[in-house]
Structure 1
Amino acid sequence: MTMSPTAVLHSEWIKIKSLRGTVGSLAAVFLTTVAITVLVFATVGRAESDNADAEPLFGAFYALNFGQLAAIAFGATAVSSEYVNGALRISLSAVPRRALFYRSKIAVVGAAALGVGLLTSFTAFLGGQAFLGEDGIGLGHTGAVGACVGAGIYLALMALLAAGLTALLRSGVAVLSVLVPFTLIVPFVIGDVAGGAAQFLPDRAGQQILHEDPNGVLGGWTGLGVMALWAAAAVGAGWWAVRRRDA
């Protein structure tokens, strides 16, 4: 009997909940981002708010640089579990339609990351600003709500980028080895040697939504759109691999 799309979605959600690595990395998106935000704003937040060159909206999401690493880990572990001990063969035996299987897995990964991402972004923003008292900004500040929503989407896109690449490479370790340095180092290197090319890389483009006045040729939502294209390309490459290769 062929499983319905709803049943497949439910089974993929059960997989994510059942794996300690995926649950831990998903929880780390929230815990890491909020903990670092609280630590930074409780210690040096007021000093930074007095800095004339500081950008209060962008600075409110400083800890997103660490939370995105957990989002990458979540996307990678959620897919790499299929390539351990022949799990993919079992999954495809239960769901022979590879398109349905892959769409369901990507949908669950994206939905889970988006839900946690939005909770993380709003909590971190409000929690961090609470330590600044009168120097803080609220959701009524220009671009604040959009930045919070955009930050949640950004984390979900990072997870999907990792998920797609993991399906392509069949290794979560390989994806982490590529994406973590790519996110932390490459944009700065390219930015130094290639002018504005770095702004089209996924993290730089996606983080434009966090700026009250985005720099460069990309606006806030346009930059997030560029990042979505990166994620879509990775997910598409992953689908190619799942469709073409043997389990």
Structure 2
Amino acid sequence: MSTSAVLHSEWIKIKSLRGSVGSLVAVFVATVAITVLVFATVGRAEADNADAEPLFDAFYAFNFGQVAAISFGAAAVSSEYVNGALRVSLAAVPRRGLFYGAKIAVLGAAALLVGLVTSFTTFLGGQAFLGEYAIGLGHPGAVRACVGGGVYLALMALFAAGLTAVLRSGAVVLGVLIPFTLIVPFVLGDMAGGAAQFLPDRAGQQILHEAPDGMLGPWPGLGVTALWAVASLGAGWWAVRRRDA
């Protein structure tokens, strides 16, 4: 099969699976819905808080959107390990590198597109409720945060995808990554000499700050998350190449 045909087949798989489509839609819906709910109710009151950080606070709902992004990455890959689907896929595309690369490329492109739309919509939608406290895309770091936020969501989906290829179970990956991203950074805090800032979510979210604290800046922090994703995808490629279907 040609590369374009394999890419097309992987796109058909993703859009045909309710789990992956639902998770991808949830990235946008959950993030925007929570943003609107929070900013419409307590947005102005919190904006007047002395500790408020207008830019980072605009992306509060990313804490929930990243869970949906992780679910999308896990669902898109774990479908291959249900009812012998991987054997059928490899029978159609014997070149495992082409098969794996096409799946990751389509998954990453879909996650990036939805992530960017989600990021800009979240930012602009939340500011619409803040009145005099609102900031726009002209605010220092706003465009960078919107673009970087979309990339961050895509990287988290890819991180989950690679780990799913290793563990061959979306449920196990969700059981590991969701607590890992929602609980571990807050438990560690500034312990272990600031090592927590190199966790994938903590590092990647530096891109959402106007003036990040710690040794990682906005783009280096996102780069750390990218390294986590690359390592995960590399391990996934090793698993797909070495293991029997």
| SS of equivalent residue, structure 2 residue 87 | helix
Q: How does 1:84-103 map to 2 (within 5 A)?
A: 84-103=82-101
* 1:71-99: CA deviation from partner (whole Å, max 9, x where unpaired): 00000000000000000000000000000
Shift of 1:190: 2.2
What CA distance in whole angstroms lies between the structure 1 residues aligned with 2:188 and 2:93?
A: 43
| SS of equivalent residue, structure 1 residue 29 | helix
Query: With structure 2 as the length reference, what TM-score do the two structures score?
Result: 0.99
Q: How does 1:98-247 map to 2 (within 5 A)?
A: 98-247=96-245
What CA distance in whole angstroms lies between the structure 2 residues aligned with 1:46 and 1:122?
A: 20
What CA distance in whole angstroms lies between the structure 2 residues aligned with 1:196 and 1:59?
A: 22
| SS of equivalent residue, structure 2 residue 11 | helix
What CA distance in whole angstroms lies between the structure 2 residues aligned with 1:246 and 1:190?
A: 38
Structure 1 spans left out of the alignment, 5+ residues: none
| SS of equivalent residue, structure 1 residue 53 | coil
* 1:11-52: CA deviation from partner (whole Å, max 9, x where unpaired): 000000000010000000000000000000000000011112
Shift of 1:134: 1.9
| SS of equivalent residue, structure 1 residue 194 | helix
Aligned to 2:81: 83
What CA distance in whole angstroms lies between the structure 1 residues aligned with 2:194 and 2:111?
A: 29
* 1:43-74: CA deviation from partner (whole Å, max 9, x where unpaired): 00000111121000000000000000000000
What CA distance in whole angstroms lies between the structure 2 residues aligned with 1:33 and 1:83?
A: 29
Aligned to 2:31: 33
| SS of equivalent residue, structure 2 residue 189 | helix
What CA distance in whole angstroms lies between the structure 2 residues aligned with 1:111 and 1:193?
A: 36
Give the fraction of aligned pairs with identical amino acids, expressed as a percent. Answer: 82
Shift of 1:195: 3.5
What CA distance in whole angstroms lies between the structure 2 residues aligned with 1:16 and 1:147?
A: 28
* 1:168-216: CA deviation from partner (whole Å, max 9, x where unpaired): 0000000000000000111122225323110000000000000000110
Shift of 1:125: 0.4
Q: Which residue type is aligned with residue 108 of structure 1? A: V
What CA distance in whole angstroms lies between the structure 1 residues aligned with 2:56 and 2:160?
A: 24
What CA distance in whole angstroms lies between the structure 2 residues aligned with 1:63 and 1:151?
A: 11
What CA distance in whole angstroms lies between the structure 1 residues aligned with 2:187 and 2:69?
A: 23
Aligned to 2:66: 68
Q: Which residue type is aligned with residue 40 of structure 2? A: A
Aligned to 1:6: 4
Q: Which residue type is aligned with residue 172 of structure 1? A: G
Number of aligned positions between the proteins:
245
Shift of 1:243: 0.2
What CA distance in whole angstroms lies between the structure 1 residues aligned with 2:183 and 2:50?
A: 27
Task: Out of 74-83 and 181-190, give the one that drifted further.
Answer: 181-190
Aligned to 1:51: 49
Q: Which residue type is aligned with residue 49 of structure 1? A: A
Q: Which residue type is aligned with residue 93 of structure 2? A: V
